[in-house]
Amino acid sequence: MGGRILCVAEKPSIARAVAQHLGGQVQARNVPGIQWVKNYEFNYTFPPWGACTVIFTSVAGHLHTIDFDTRYRSWNSCQPGQLFDAPVVTSIDDDKKAIARNIETQARGARTLFIWTDCDREGEHIGTEIRDVALKSNPRLEVCRARFSNIERAHVVNAARNPVPLDERQANAVAARIELDLRIGAAFTRMQTLQLRPMVEQMLESKVISYGSCQFPTLGFVVDRYFRVKNFVPEQFWHIRVMHRKDDIDVTFNWKRGHLFDRMAVTIIFERCIMARTAKVVKMQKKPTSKWKPLPLTTVELQKMGSRFLRMDSQRVMKIAEELYTKGWISYPRTETDQFDRGMDLRKLVEKQCPDGQWGPYAQGLMNGGFNQPRQGRNNDKAHPPIHPVNHVAASHLRDDEERRVYEFIVRRFLACCSEDARGEATDVEIQYGTEIFRTHGLLVLQRNYLDVYPYDKWVSSQQLPNFTLGETFEPTEAKMLDGKTTAPGFLTEPELIALMDANGIGTDATMAEHIAKIKERAYVMTRPRGRATGGGTGLQEFIPTTLGVALIEGYDNVGFETSLGKPFLRKEMELLMKAICAGTTTRNDVVHQSLEQYREVFVRTTRQINVLKEVIIPKIHSPSGPARLNASHLTNLEQLEGYTSLLLHDTLHDSSALDPAARVGRAGRSSERADPVALCAIRGAGFGGPSVANPARHVLDRRTRADAGTEHLRRGLRHFSACVSSARSPPQFGTEETREGFRVTFWCGDGAGHDVRSSGD
């Protein structure tokens, strides 16, 4: 048959890599009007079509954009509620018109359009956009797509030999989501902005108070945890601990009940234990135990583990993973699958890692008989395997330390999956002391196995327990009645937020990081390293909502919806409908209609009760006199305050005693943080920004004035801060010191009780 085949990839890097696999040293031709897209021409024999001339090119993501008809694009052109029904038009982005012209030109002489977009929902939709553009110039084109999950040569060749149809259902699901996001987002954003901006515009750098159906539930999780922390009231409890020394080993037995909140009851129980004098061993058990190796890696797990262990936010982790994929080093990084197909040659992938200087010897050990099949998870998206390395790359060939850390994590995770579980021996001893049961647990790690290559899991031997025999009696060396206090939960961390989004169906594995980035970009939340408020710091980021973020969620909750916009239920239902489109049990039009009616009802009620929303926001935004008081836990990095208005919470955390470093450890050894309040004002263009003396080459761009300023400007900004501290009993002081990043600012003030309250920012 022969003829001309037009192949189109989603990204220029994929087009180049696949063309080289299929055509060898192919010649690249420039595309008029666009620099980074090339046309690669070569010959290749496809089983369905025979020997063909191939033109391999690419797009750069979506070609099409949808927007309202020009009559509705101006914010004052209509009432926001009309956007639920306003006509929308599809057009080609201005910056993509040269790409579209190239596809039209190349399609004219082609017999087949062979689409090589990513194999997920978004890729299917981009594939339909490419098809629609190509059919304009050649309506007789045959259209098919390649099914692939990485760009390793053998995998690419197999995909080229086995074309499949486009999945129209997945494309329709994306089309429905795009239309719903436009209509719902635009209607609520215009309404919120027009109604609320006059009250908060002096605090906003952005002129828009945006709404998104994934954005708000994500913010809702952060606000919900914030209120759990703020409203937490410590409660005292009591418990009993028994100690015994045997064979020169001190053993601690913990109360099986844990603890009780009734002091009198614990006192009576404790006295009965003391009166009994002797304890009896009622259980002595030694048994083999295991620590299971990890499941194969999914996108959600990569984001959670990346933000926990790699010191990067989830959006950065995914960007690097995408780059590793396009370079041909790992498989497609957007997958829900946590089980490898039994037909995959995993040993071959392990063998590729043997030359590595760090984990190569471990990989060689797997090849020499240590290989075990990975665990089978419960999820399979039927599109992509779990994330895994497809080629070995030396650390010197990786771009930077971040790329090295992500690649290393993926390789170590894969090797751990192909290893044996860690093995150990667990010892459990229970004693009866009086009428109560106390127990202790010991662990002896015998074989580390996968732990030798996977440092992200911890499993270590405990102190060795002495030998006890069943029925043995002894008089405990010591028994104590102790007290403690319950402790507040921490603010939400990124791994916890991702887990909540995943469990509640907010976004997809491919979009969760984008939604988190969006609420930070909109200044609805701020982040700081966990432990910053108490002088520590783990590198794990925690989220703290701003005034505006809290006010919006509280406002919508107070409107009295059966399902608040700050809760995940509406968006979760929408995502289930998208899956139903993919399964063929409903249609795009039905889903769009059903979802719009649900959100329209919420919109109408919000509009009618807009004063309820305003009544919540006004007292939070406007403090009665000067700056508001804040808990030390609410101070964020000063780098987030450079040159723009802080949107920190302007209400007072009433439980200011919950953060005192001096009382961090209670009598029971449990964390009980407390700190004194410190006043903070928003520094608005008062001098933050510009090159620092510590590093003159580094310029901090002032977002408001874009003016360069020196350290004196910084000092003026801090003097402005000092002048506004109304709650301080002594004049605030400040200082700067050089750091690797530029400089660190520290400010402190006395609280009238002999304590200094400090906070620092880079």
**Sign (positive/negative) of CA torsion 573, 579, 583, 588?**
positive
Residue-wise pLDDT tens digits, 114-137 = 999 998 899 999 999 999 999 999
Q: Could you write out the DSSP letters of every residue in 290-322?
A: EEPPPPPB-HHHHHHHHHHHSS--HHHHHHHHH
Burial of residue 275 (number of CB atoms within 10 Å: 0-12, 13-18, 19+): exposed
Span 389-395, mean pLDDT? 93
Give the residue, 431 or 536, on which the prediction is more confident.
431
Tell the residue number behind the tokens 């497609």, with chain if given: 332
Give the containing element (helix H, strand E) for 323. Answer: helix 314-326
Tell the residue number behind the tokens 């993926």, with chain if given: 410
Burial of residue 383 (number of CB atoms within 10 Å: 0-12, 13-18, 19+): buried
Two structure tokens written together for 560: 């009295």
Task: Note whether 64 and 91 are within 8 A (CB).
Answer: yes
Residue-wise pLDDT tens digits, 239-261 = 999 999 999 999 999 999 999 99
List the one residue out of 672, 730, 571 whose CA is nearest residue 235: 672
Instruction: Give 665's DSSP letter.
Output: B
Residue 367 φ/ψ region, left for φ over 0, alpha for ψ in the -120 to 50 degree band, beta for the rest: alpha
Task: Note whether 650 and 682 are within 8 A (CB).
Answer: no
pLDDT of 532 reads: 57
Please list, in sequence order, all residues whose beta carbon lies within 8 angstroms of the beta carbon of residue 227, skipping any fewer than 6 positions away: none
List the one residue out of 464, 405, 87 whose CA is nearest residue 286: 464
Distance CA 311, CA 300 (A): 16
Give the residue, 539 or 227, on which the prediction is more confident.
227
Distance CA 613, CA 423 (A): 57
Locate all alpha helices (DSSP H) within 658-727, ordered by sequence: 711-723
For 205-274, the three-class secondary structure string (H helix, E strand, C coil) is CCCCCCCCCCHHHHHHHHHHHHHHHHCCCCCEEEEEEEEEEECCEEEEEEECCCCECCHHHHHHHHHHHH
- Among candidate residues 211, 325, 332, 599, the one labeled active-site is 332
- Helices 299-309 and 314-326 cross at an angle (nearest 10°) of 120
Residue-wise pLDDT tens digits, 647-696 = 333 332 233 233 222 222 333 333 333 322 222 223 223 333 333 333 33
Give the residue, 587 or 534, on which the prediction is more confident.
587
**Sign (positive/negative) of CA torsion 209, 620, 516, 407?**
positive
- In this model, does residue 207 exceed pLDDT 80? no
Distance CA 314, CA 311 (A): 10
Weakest-pLDDT range from 61-65, 232-236, 250-254, 615-619: 615-619
Give the residue, 468 or 708, on which the prediction is more confident.
468
The amino acid at 456: Y
Radius of gyration of the chain (CA): 31
Between CA 747 and CA 752, with CA 751 as vertex, the angle to 5 degrees is 140
Q: How far apart are the first and last CA of the chain?
A: 66
Span 701-728, mean pLDDT? 40
pLDDT of 443 reads: 96
- In this model, does residue 698 exceed pLDDT 80? no
Weakest-pLDDT range from 501-515, 609-623, 678-692, 698-712: 678-692
pLDDT of 621 reads: 67
CA distances from 256 to 253, 430, 437, 473, 482 (A): 9, 9, 6, 19, 15
- In this model, does residue 165 exceed pLDDT 90? yes
- Helices 12-23 and 314-326 cross at an angle (nearest 10°) of 30
pLDDT of 150 reads: 86
CA distances from 718 to 348, 526, 625, 633 (A): 60, 21, 20, 20
pLDDT of 307 reads: 92
Span 61-73, mean pLDDT? 93
Distance CA 628, CA 450 (A): 52
Distance CA 245, CA 252 (A): 9
Distance CA 508, CA 445 (A): 38
Span 22-40, mean pLDDT? 89
List the one residue out of 384, 387, 386 whose CA is nearest residue 406: 387
Two structure tokens written together for 449: 């196995």
How high does pLDDT run on average in the chain?
82
Distance CA 756, CA 718 (A): 17
CA distances from 328 to 275, 324, 399 (A): 71, 6, 14
The amino acid at 322: E
Span 294-320, mean pLDDT? 94
Task: Note whether 88 and 48 are within 8 A (CB).
Answer: no
CA distances from 524 to 222, 423, 515, 549 (A): 10, 46, 12, 4
Distance CA 702, CA 683 (A): 12
Please list, in sequence order, all residues whose beta carbon lies within 8 angstroms of the beta carbon of residue 144, skipping any fewer than 6 positions away: 112, 113, 114, 115, 163, 164, 165, 166
Distance CA 544, CA 219 (A): 10
Buried b vs exposed e over 30-66: b needs ≥16 C-beta within 10 Å?
ebeebeebbbbbbebebeebeebebbbbbbbebbbee
List the one residue out of 290, 283, 292 whose CA is nearest residue 441: 283
Please list, in sequence order, all residues whose beta carbon lies within 8 angstroms of the beta carbon of residue 84, skipping any fewer than 6 positions away: 183, 184, 187, 596, 599, 600, 603
Span 583-600, mean pLDDT? 95
Distance CA 599, CA 578 (A): 16
Task: Note whether 385 and 344 are within 8 A (CB).
Answer: yes
Span 336-353, mean pLDDT? 92
Distance CA 605, CA 607 (A): 5
Domains and CATH numbers, the chain: 4-170 (3.40.50.140), 184-232+491-621 (1.10.460.10), 242-292+423-485 (2.70.20.10), 299-417 (1.10.290.10), 629-761 (no CATH)
Task: Kindly report the pTM of this predicted structure.
Answer: 0.77
Span 224-251, mean pLDDT? 95
Weakest-pLDDT range from 3-7, 23-27, 183-187, 452-456: 23-27
- In this model, does residue 608 exceed pLDDT 80? yes
List the one residue out of 493, 494, 499, 421 whose CA is nearest residue 454: 421
pLDDT of 539 reads: 67
pLDDT of 654 reads: 30
Span 138-156, mean pLDDT? 92
- In this model, does residue 634 exceed pLDDT 50? no
pLDDT of 205 reads: 59
By residue count, the chain amounts to: 762
User: Catalytic residue at 332?
Assistant: yes
Distance CA 77, CA 760 (A): 47
Span 535-564, mean pLDDT? 80
Buried b vs exposed e over 494-507: b needs ≥16 C-beta within 10 Å?
bbbbbbbbbebbbb
List the one residue out of 391, 408, 422, 386 whose CA is nearest residue 296: 386
List the one residue out of 551, 505, 541, 545 whose CA is nearest residue 525: 545
Backbone φ and ψ of 253, nearest 5°:
-105, 125
- In this model, does residue 206 exceed pLDDT 80? no
Burial of residue 265 (number of CB atoms within 10 Å: 0-12, 13-18, 19+): exposed
